[in-house]
Amino acid sequence: MRAASGNMDPNSKRFIYRVNKEENRKELKHVKIDESSVIKSDISTKKNKKNKMELPKKKYYRQRAHSNPFSDHQLEYPSCPEDMDWSKLYPAFKDENSGEMTKEVTIADIGCGFGGLMIDLSPAFPQQLILGMEIRVQVTNYVEDRIIALRSNHAKEQTYQNINVLRGNAMKFLPNFFHKAQLSKMFFCFPDPHFKQRKHKARIVTNTLLSEYAYVLKEGGIIYTITDVEDLHNWMVKHLTEHPLFERLSKEWEANDKCVEIMTNATEEGKKVARKQGSKFVACFKRLPNPEII
């Protein structure tokens, strides 16, 4: 059977659910969803009594909590940013006459998980394109299905057109997707802590990776970090503080920034920490200007 369905029993609910969702995803993930398309196709999928597309159910997208970023995941990625066709992810922002995109991605959620942050950022930044990058297959599928449902259910308002997700490894291929100084905000929410010391090289914040983040982040752009693991928080703060192109922002700045508020409360992992009354450690850093070469 198809890889998306794995080796599951073809008569199981999970198998049938995934196959139906995969067919729906192929039909709708790259098309502009508006009132006319909803009426024309009736968004051929299961709807509830209020004629709304049902949001995907996590129980059918079972996946390990983390994935090895150094493994060969058979990912698709452009050879350079110019080769990336963003219109497939954001068809509402494609000029019908020229065929060109009217906007470019400026906000990235690295390791976006189940997409909670993007969904809350979408109405806060309706004119900015927001991309989630996620390495896990089923989690990526879940976010795609979630966005399709939201776009369908809000076709009249044309909301949630500015968010999407792609399966990718930001630790390897970030410069393949983004131009120099393209991004204004990057989010790292509850990343894998990789507790064992020999695994620290796999953490999403390292000296080498920070230089790549600095490349795609514009001057004055912000890196947002949040975790419930204090050791990882201290690690990220240390490496960002030591990097010459980043400067930590104050707690006062954090208290007045709407993205910090959204980040603290929007993600599924953050909600889980709140339910368990755990701690959340936040740190934000500004991208500094490149030093002058004398």
What residue has token string 């929410």? Answer: 189
Question: What is the rounded CA–CA span in Å between residue 151 and residue 163?
Answer: 10
Q: Is 168 annotated to bind ligand?
A: no
Q: Is 259 annotated to bind ligand?
A: no
The count of residues in the chain is 294
Q: Is 148 annotated to bind ligand?
A: no
Q: Is 135 annotated to bind ligand?
A: yes
Question: What is the rounded CA–CA span in Å between residue 248 and residue 222?
Answer: 10
Q: Is 39 annotated to bind ligand?
A: no
Q: Please give the angle made by the CA atoms of 82, 32 and 104, to the nearest 5 degrees.
A: 30
Q: What is the DSSP string of 16-51?
A: HHHHHHHHHHHHHTTS---HHHHHHH-TTS-B-TTS
**Annotated catalytic residue: which of 192, 228, 231, 257?**
192
Long-range contacts of 228-233 (CB under 8 A, 24+ apart): 228/190, 228/269, 228/273, 228/278, 228/279, 228/280, 228/281, 229/193, 229/195, 229/281, 230/279, 230/281, 231/193, 231/195, 232/191, 232/193, 232/203, 233/281, 233/283
Question: What is the rounded CA–CA span in Å between residue 53 and residue 41?
Answer: 13
Question: What is the rounded CA–CA span in Å between residue 130 and residue 183?
Answer: 10
Q: Is 267 annotated to bind ligand?
A: yes
- Do 105 and 182 touch, CB atoms closer than 8 A? yes
Q: Is 134 annotated to bind ligand?
A: yes
What is the token pair recorded at 54? 């049902």
Beta pairing partners, 185: 107, 222
Tell how strand 183-189 and strand 217-227 pair up. Answer: parallel
Is-catalytic flag, 192? yes
Q: Is 111 annotated to bind ligand?
A: yes
Q: Is 294 annotated to bind ligand?
A: no
Question: What is the rounded CA–CA span in Å between residue 211 and residue 204?
Answer: 12
Annotated binding site for S-adenosyl-L-methionine: 111, 134-135, 169-170, 189, 267-269
The residues assigned a catalytic role are 192
Annotated binding site: 111, 134-135, 169-170, 189, 267-269
